[in-house]
Chains A and B, each alone.
Chain A
Amino acid sequence: MTATTATTTATVRVSRTGPGSNQGRPWEVALDGDVVGSLRRGETLELAVPPGHHGLHVRSKGILASPERPFAAREGQIIGFSCRARPRHPFIVQRSIVWLVASLFTRHSWITLTPDTPDETDTAEVTETAEVTETTDETDTADMTDLTDTALTAGIAATAGSPRGVTNGMALGATARAALLRQPRSRAEDGEPVLTVESLSKRFGSRTAFSEVSFEVFRGEVFGFLGPNGAGKTTTVRTLGTLIAPTSGSATVAGIPLSPENGVEIRRRISIMPEAPGLYLRLTVAENLEYFAGLYGLHHPATRITDALEAVNLGDRAGDLCSGLSKGLRQRVGLARTLLSDPAVMFLDEPTSGLDPVAAREVHDLVDGLRQRGVTIFLTTHRLDEAEKLCDRVAILNTTLRTIGRPAELRAQLFKSALIVETVEPLDDPGALFTSLASVESWRAVGAGTYELTVPDPRLAAPEVARRLVGVGADVLSLREAHHSLEDVYLELISEDVEARRA
């Protein structure tokens, strides 16, 4: 299958270091198996590479070579590598002998090729190019190995700041947080959708799970997907995660059209945390992550596992059997698992379901930390406070998509501005009082001595209302602007549906 997509290039910078008074013989630099240049000691070679997964190795003419280092390149990144002849250890005789013997069986141990530290890389100039990208199921499996860890360890400097402020230290361990923040992504303001859903529907026989759902999720956005039980949220996630085939409609997930033949490639670029973390209880935390790292094709996952565990504050529990963990800790392991593959989109299905408030708070902090890092998160939840706190935008689904937007926009759409007036005693004639005010459109009593006044502009109306109340001798307890929560929006929309069904 061929799709035309606009992509940008990344830059790979390979430097040859090492002691020596002369430049020595040139070494060949091979990208994805093809020789793309040569390097003498002290030289640096820059290569423009398309985004995606690549393999790099360096070899001396003859038999000496470095291992192939797979890495993932993202748009605009500069990924630095250093190569040098393997240093000798003259004083560690035994180790040298062991290494020498081992070297007889492998020619890849003579040259080291390592990613540069994050500080040595910087933001790349982004070169816009249009190219035809092959998106096919035959795409070779991801070799997102330890040097894929480029994302984590080779490091990419920030291309965009976090609009939400400081990183939450409670959620992310210091080391892991640093590792995670080394790979910030561009944020929603980039306007690049990583998830595009158009008229997607799924029916199981005569039952409709969801119908004609359309929305876009942008890079770096935390997108809340809300709805009552049975609304089709989980089925939508499963559909976008290629576990379920849609009945009709289309979608693009992480830039790849949703289709059965693209299933492997899509799943390679996303991660899904189902409601239940689904851990192998007889295995340890690290063994669980190691298994999933293997399924994602991570050949040397130790660094990634450590970073993922530290990111969820479980660095010291790696050796614990999962059967001995509490539900909250298991949920955190599940989250660590979704971090392993450095996904373009993370689907979190009810991540705080069944957690106590403290554990839920920790998950919130982690999601917030990931958002600050620029990870795109698709969050399904029942918890409206959670959605309001974490999500940039939310969609409310009740088989069909009821609404979508920023929480503040949804409140403004559904609810007019209002003032809440509380008096010690109920007013004698509130109708006469409030209807005589030019700035009040309508009013209603919401309790004994409590009134809600619909006003076009609370700032203008409040002084006039206060003056009139004082003027009639009312004992005013409070006068404040009414605040509608996302829960109010949700309940309003869902109750409309319930009433419509009754009718």
Chain B
Amino acid sequence: MKKLDAFRIRAVVRKELRDYRRKRAIVVSMAVLPVLFLVEPVVTVFLAPTSLTGSSLDQSLILPILYLLLIPTVMPSTLAAYAVAGEREQGTLEPLLTTPIRQQELILGKAAAVMIPTMALSYTVFGLFLAAVALFAHPVIATAFFHEGAELLALFLLAPLLAGWAIVVGMAVSVRASEVRVAQQLGVLASFPPVAVILLLAVGVLHPTFPLALEFAVALLAIDGMALRLTSGMFDRERLVTGSKAS
């Protein structure tokens, strides 16, 4: 890999964050989505019957954690899908491509710009949720919940990896899509595979254990890395400008 310039990557990140802040739809969706995803886990934990014990209780407490993982899975796909298709739509892609920035720098910058608010919001919501459980849940439930230390660790570990998947796939879609709307729809669809795994865990087909979470994390890390390389490969200046690959 060629030497990458952190300064140019930072320039992209700074500009993207600035741009997001000024786009009302993005600000609203980023504010509302996490709150929506927070409601179900809170309700589940606060309504969990205190009579449950053992694996039944464990199972009922795993569900909110899995549900929270939807935040980093679903939230970034919309932003990532906007990354290149948005540039194309507003006519800024060609001026951008005429600068010395390398494709990997641009992709990393754009990915980081999506990752930063996603993780900030995800971890904030996780923190709020844990604080709510600690402060307001029934002591039996709270004790049982925090007894699931490994699962909570998995929550924090898997969140960036799931976000990474959604971002990379969203950007890959964005590179090829001609319109932002199409890119966003396909980007959300592309985030479904990890969601499917979460659902399998939730319905008990897979049994959530810390080793399984670790295996899942390693697999995700490898997939994210490969997907990033593939997306970089797709980021061909000629294809982006003319719509066809260099002959």
List A residues at the B interface (Cβ < 8 Å).
Answer: 137-138, 140-142, 203-205, 238, 241-245, 247, 263-265, 267-268, 270-274, 276-283, 287, 291-297, 299, 334, 337
Say which size band chain B's interface belongs to.
20 to 34
Pairwise interchain contact B95-A272, C-beta atoms closer than 8 A: yes
Contact with A along B1-35 (1 / 0, CB 8 A): 01101011011101100110011000000000000
Pairwise interchain contact B95-A274, C-beta atoms closer than 8 A: yes
The CA-CA distance from A242 to B246 in the complex, in Å, is 12
Q: A203-B247, A245-B238 are in contact. Are A282 and B96 (CB under 8 A)?
A: no
Complex interface: chain B residues within 8 A of A271 (CB): 98
Pairwise interchain contact B244-A278, C-beta atoms closer than 8 A: no
Pairwise interchain contact A277-B247, C-beta atoms closer than 8 A: no
Q: A242-B237, A244-B241, A267-B98 are in contact. Are A278 and B93 (CB under 8 A)?
A: yes
20 chain-A/chain-B pairs, Cβ below 8 angstroms: A137-B2, A141-B8, A243-B94, A243-B97, A244-B246, A267-B98, A272-B98, A274-B98, A276-B94, A278-B91, A278-B94, A280-B15, A281-B90, A283-B15, A287-B18, A294-B7, A294-B12, A294-B14, A295-B101, A297-B100
Q: A243-B237, A244-B238 are in contact. Are A295 and B11 (CB under 8 A)?
A: yes
CB distance from B16 to the nearest CB of A (A): 9
CB distance from A20 to the nearest CB of B (A): 37
A-B contact sample (8 more), CB < 8 A, given A280-B15, A292-B95: A244-B242, A245-B238, A278-B90, A279-B92, A280-B92, A283-B15, A295-B100, A297-B100
Complex interface: chain A residues within 8 A of B95 (CB): 272-274, 277-278, 292, 334, 337
User: Is residue B102 within 8 Å, beta carbon to beta carbon, of the partner chain?
Assistant: yes
The CA-CA distance from A110 to B126 in the complex, in Å, is 46
Contact with A along B138-156 (1 / 0, CB 8 A): 0000000000000000000
Complex interface: chain B residues within 8 A of A241 (CB): 98
CB distance from A258 to the nearest CB of B (A): 13
The CA-CA distance from A280 to B100 in the complex, in Å, is 18
CB distance from A104 to the nearest CB of B (A): 25
| A267 CB contact (under 8 Å) in B10, B90, B99 | B99
| B247 CB contact (under 8 Å) in A138, A204, A268 | A204
Pairwise interchain contact A205-B98, C-beta atoms closer than 8 A: no
Pairwise interchain contact A292-B247, C-beta atoms closer than 8 A: no
| A204 CB contact (under 8 Å) in B91, B96, B242 | B242
Pairwise interchain contact A205-B8, C-beta atoms closer than 8 A: no
**Closest residue of A by beta carbon distance from B240:** A243
The CA-CA distance from A351 to B10 in the complex, in Å, is 30
**Closest residue of A by beta carbon distance from B237:** A243
The CA-CA distance from A358 to B95 in the complex, in Å, is 25
Pairwise interchain contact B100-A264, C-beta atoms closer than 8 A: yes
Complex interface: chain A residues within 8 A of B19 (CB): 280, 282-283
CB distance from A89 to the nearest CB of B (A): 31
Contact with A along B75-96 (1 / 0, CB 8 A): 0000000000000001111111
| B100 CB contact (under 8 Å) in A204, A282, A296, A337 | A296
Pairwise interchain contact A283-B18, C-beta atoms closer than 8 A: yes
The CA-CA distance from A295 to B105 in the complex, in Å, is 10
Pairwise interchain contact B100-A278, C-beta atoms closer than 8 A: no
CB distance from B218 to the nearest CB of A (A): 33
Complex interface: chain B residues within 8 A of A337 (CB): 95
Pairwise interchain contact A268-B100, C-beta atoms closer than 8 A: yes
**Closest residue of B by beta carbon distance from A204:** B244
CB distance from B15 to the nearest CB of A (A): 4
Pairwise interchain contact A294-B241, C-beta atoms closer than 8 A: no
7 nearest A-B pairs in the assembled complex, by CB-CB distance: A294-B11, A295-B99, A278-B95, A282-B22, A141-B5, A272-B98, A268-B100
| B7 CB contact (under 8 Å) in A267, A287, A299 | A299
Complex interface: chain A residues within 8 A of B14 (CB): 291, 294
CB distance from A351 to the nearest CB of B (A): 13
